[in-house]
A and B are shown apart, each in its own frame.
Chain A
Amino acid sequence: MGAFSNPEVLRYARAQLRWDRMLSTAAICGILSLVVGYSIVHNAQDPQQSGLEFLSIVVRAQVFLLLVVGGLAALHAVQREKDLYTFDFQRVTRLTPLELTVGKLFGAPIFSYFIALCLLPAAVAGAVAGRAHPSYVLLSLAIVLLGAIGFHAFALLLSLLVDRATAIAGVVLLVLIITGIPSTVSQIFLNLGSLSPAYAAELITRDAWRGRPLLAPRWPLSQHPVDDVLFGLPVDHAFVLLALYATFTGWCLLALVRNIKRDPAVYEIFTPWQALGFAVYVNLIVVGFFRWSGFGPLDAQEVLLGVNAGVFLTLGVILLRNRDHVRRLREHHAEPPWVALSWPTPYLVPGALLIGLATVAIVEAVRGPDAAWDPWLAVVRVAVISAWILRDTLYLQWMNLRRGQRPLLVGLLYLAVFYTCAGIIFVSFRLFSTPAGTAYAGIFAPATVLALSHAFWVDARLVWIAGLGIQLLAAGGFVLLQRRVQSDLSAHAAVDARKA
């Protein structure tokens, strides 16, 4: 079933693209294009420059409309159906999860695509007047479309998995990331240009293949290098963007297809192996585009391990099970008890260790011969971070199995309060000024190990290793607590409930 014969796309098209609505939208777009075009031409000296400027404005408008109007539509696509109790009817059809997902992905934001289409004549006029390079016009169009699809897929995933407020927060966060990364993170850590589809507006104004844009940048940091650096090789940023959008969309689609027709009580974004694949994917991007020249080996490991910790803690939250899920697994005796009690760490911790050690090996391979480097410190960092992931994930899993309205949210809140208070106390007692103090702080806030220097490590090795043992003991404590909660979810408890 193609995207355009998909019943869901057809339904959205019928609902959103009535003739009267389409005509009025086309008229508004036409009038606005004429007015903006005229005002630019009227004040311009150089027709080519004014054409390119107009083209750039139109492309930015298309990107904005696709992201905002289309993103909001995708964000409501499942939630509104759930509110109206129509989603169950869609689930009880012969539509496969892929067909339903594709239908919503292209159907829900269909009106934003129509608006972008209405602006296309203006873009063509701008491209002709500005003598834009045809290959860049096509490439820009591909970036705008793939970028919008990736964004819509993410919004749709949020719409499926979380409540409205969290979904809106997620979309806002993504907007900040794709607009904020070019001027901050990527300039510092990565050889990677803007991740925003608005890059198409810059790309389209290049005068020749791989040439500089003809238009001056609007902001000091808004113009990016033509090439990114991937594993030391220059790669055109436009193609990098297309690859990133396509793969990101792929991950979102995987999660959507896996869950869209499921009972919401047993949503599971990825299987553990898919989650590990996602962790490898993120690491490949970070390691591949890492700005090695800007960092010494230990600093580089600090950044890469920090990213890894974030990725694995996020995956840990994604893989957590709720009470319904655990109850079903217990009824079906689906896995060995040790896996059930330590979930999801049997996948997370080996993954974090493996990727952490691989990072150590990469740093070892690429570092300069004279650079300061201590492989043992690097390995201890990986071990402490893995133990941290183990401890906090087991804590969150235990919290998530407790009875309550939003047990996971409460668990995360307690964790945030704990780290905030610990941080304030550590700073007040100036623990970070001595090697032993830093090591003691590391027992409570293991992320401290990321900034651990060679000298501090050498002076407090035993405390760090003892701290590692304490982390493991704490993790064992959470396993025991989880065991108690899980026994409440057993068949006996259900029988008790029956009798009550």
Chain B
Amino acid sequence: MNTATVPISARVPAIRMENLSKVYDLPSGSPGKTQVVAADNLTLEIAAGQVFGLVGPNGAGKTTTLKMVCGLLVPTSGRITVQGIDVERAPEAAQGLIGYLADFFSLYDDLKVWEYLDYFARAYKMAPEAIPRRIDEVIRLMGLESKRNGFIGGLSRGMKQRLGLGRAILHDPPVLVLDEPAVGLDPQGRLDFKHLITESAHRGKTTFITSHLLADLEELCTSIAILERGHIVRMGSLKQILSGAGARTVRIGVASPAFPLARWLSARPEVSAVAADGMGCRFSFAGGETELAVLVRALVLEGAAVCAVEEVAQTLEQAVSRLSTGDVM
């Protein structure tokens, strides 16, 4: 069981999973295995106001997990609550609190943009008098003003993605469940999207998000879980994930071009993955500050004119790459 939990800032977590499992059958004729575990006894809590990223390779079970949170798939075992409401027992009540965007979807091409939003506003049972104003607001927020009365069939892919996102936030849900939401968005769209999520988090909204664009997640997420074969291999705040991903990356610059820096570093046991970087080298260093000071002193004693020692910040992509074994189901 994965018992690590994200710190809870509110009494009732926005999303809570308890021993959540989902087992699928593999097609007959598959060698060896007969079934696959898409979610393996997951236990986690996401507090209100968090932006929680679920990352992992294809087939890790991310979409399955998100769909179970939305009540679209029933778990084989375990329980999910959204703001304290059991998704399986009271699906409509829980679903009313969720804004969901799937990784792959279509829209109704034979509707106009405003009609599409109007349909979902009514389906979410928003107050009728508030609907027109909210539709205008969402259209403006998504940058679709010029397409308000256009048919959805005539929109570009990026615009459709914006409209899908607009639908998910239309009823101002306290919980957003977004599966690859930035796919197809242009750079401006991605910026707007990140602003939207950050703004939502400031207003106490919770976002549960998966994406392969880890750079985006790094900017957005307060917490991350790395999922592999339905199993959480690491979970925690973004800082914990980045700092707990093993070796740090360090760059040392020297002012003596003749010194064989790369060869010298490669011979050190605490150093790995040495790469030349201009007048210096970038490498992974498995040690603390004291060990680094010892390394630099040894380098100076060897005659190298050390002119720079800096720690290179690790990206989420690097952290995930280190922590993940890359296993897929």
Contact = CB atoms under 8 A, between A and B. Distances in A.
B76 A331 contact: yes
A15 B110 contact: yes
B33 to A, nearest CB: 5
A11 B119 contact: yes
B315 interface: no
A93 B74 contact: no
A92 B66 CA distance: 12
B27 to A, nearest CB: 7
B151 to A, nearest CB: 10
Contacts of B124: 93-94
A472 B189 CA distance: 67
Nearest to A266: B74
A494 B32 contact: no
A92 to B, nearest CB: 5
Interface residues of B, number: 48
B92 A86 contact: no
A405 B23 contact: no
Contacts of A89: 100, 102, 105, 120, 167
Contact of B77 (A8, A263, A328, A404): A328
B72 to A, nearest CB: 5
A256 B96 CA distance: 21
Interface string A474-489: 0000000000000010
Main secondary structure of the interface of B (DSSP, over half): loop
B36 A497 contact: yes
A133 interface: no
B325 interface: no
Given A493-B34, A498-B37, A500-B33, A265 B111 contact: no
Contacts of A328: 74-77
A266 B124 CA distance: 25
Contacts of B106: 84-86
Which of B72, B104, B105 has the most CB atoms of chain A within a 10 A radius of its CB?
A: B72
Contacts of A91: 71-72, 95
Contacts of A261: 91-92
Contacts of B119: 7-8, 10-11, 14
B172 interface: no
Interface string B61-97: 0000001001111111100000000000001100110
Interface in A40-82: none
A404 B25 CA distance: 9
Contacts of B229: 498
Contact of B34 (A16, A84, A405, A497): A497
A138 to B, nearest CB: 33
Contacts of A303: none
Chain A interface bracket (under 10, 10 to 19, 20 to 34, 35 or more)? 35 or more
A86 B105 contact: yes
B77 A403 contact: no
A332 interface: yes
Contacts of B76: 324, 327-328, 331, 494
B266 interface: no
Contacts of B98: 92
Interface in B101-122: 102, 104-108, 110-112, 115, 119-120, 122
Main secondary structure of the interface of A (DSSP, over half): helix
Nearest to A488: B34
Contact of A263 (B74, B96, B111): B74
A263 B91 CA distance: 11
B23 A494 contact: yes
Given A15-B108, A263-B73, A327-B23, A95 B40 contact: no
A370 to B, nearest CB: 60
Given A327-B76, A328-B77, A404-B28, A92 B70 contact: yes
A323 interface: yes
Interface in A13-33: 14-16
A404 B26 CA distance: 9
Nearest to B36: A497
B105 A92 contact: no
A332 B77 contact: yes
Contacts of B74: 262-263, 265-266, 328
Contacts of A331: 21, 76-77
B123 interface: yes
A222 interface: no
Contacts of A95: 92, 123, 125
* In the A-B complex, the 10 residue pairs with the closest CB atoms: A7-B122, A331-B77, A93-B123, A84-B106, A15-B110, A94-B96, A404-B28, A11-B119, A92-B100, A94-B125
10 contacts: A8-B123, A85-B105, A86-B108, A91-B71, A94-B124, A331-B77, A332-B77, A403-B28, A493-B35, A500-B32
Given A7-B120, A15-B108, A92-B71, 4 more contacts: A88-B100, A328-B77, A405-B28, A494-B76
Interface of A: 7-8, 10-11, 14-16, 84-86, 88-96, 261-263, 265-266, 323-324, 327-328, 331-332, 403-405, 488, 491, 493-494, 497-498, 500
